[in-house]
């Protein structure tokens, strides 16, 4: 199909499923000056989550501040874990 980049914008369940399937090469996160909490608070990854030894390792590629928000760009590190 010739698709080189595809953005997946969704909730924590969708993000968790594509991360678990190994379909994510890069991850962009936005940190806003707002703290939410509680059982129903949105999170980047929902569901069962990842155990520490299976957690995705990320390499920080870029940080950009716009006003009070911080944009983080990561690459998924696929190197073998020792």
pTM greater than the 0.85 cutoff:
no
* Residue-wise pLDDT tens digits, 28-63: 999 999 888 887 777 777 777 666 777 788 999 999
Across the beta sheet with 69-77, what order do the strands follow? 26-31, 69-77, 57-66
CB contact set of 48 (below 8 Å; sequence gap of 6+): 16
Q: Longest C-alpha distance within the chain, in Å?
A: 42
Q: Is it the case that residue 80 has pLDDT exceeding 80? A: no
In the chain, what are the domain boundaries? 12-77
């Amino acid at each position: 199909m010739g698709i080189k980049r595809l953005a997946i914008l969704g909730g924590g369940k969708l993000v968790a499923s594509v991360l678990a399937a190994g379909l994510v090469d890069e991850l962009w996160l936005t940190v806003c000056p707002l703290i939410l909490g509680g059982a129903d608070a949105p999170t980047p990854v929902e569901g069962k989550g990842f155990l520490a030894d299976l957690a995705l390792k990320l390499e920080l590629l870029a940080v950009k501040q716009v006003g009070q928000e911080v944009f983080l760009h990561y690459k998924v590190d696929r190197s073998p874990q020792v």
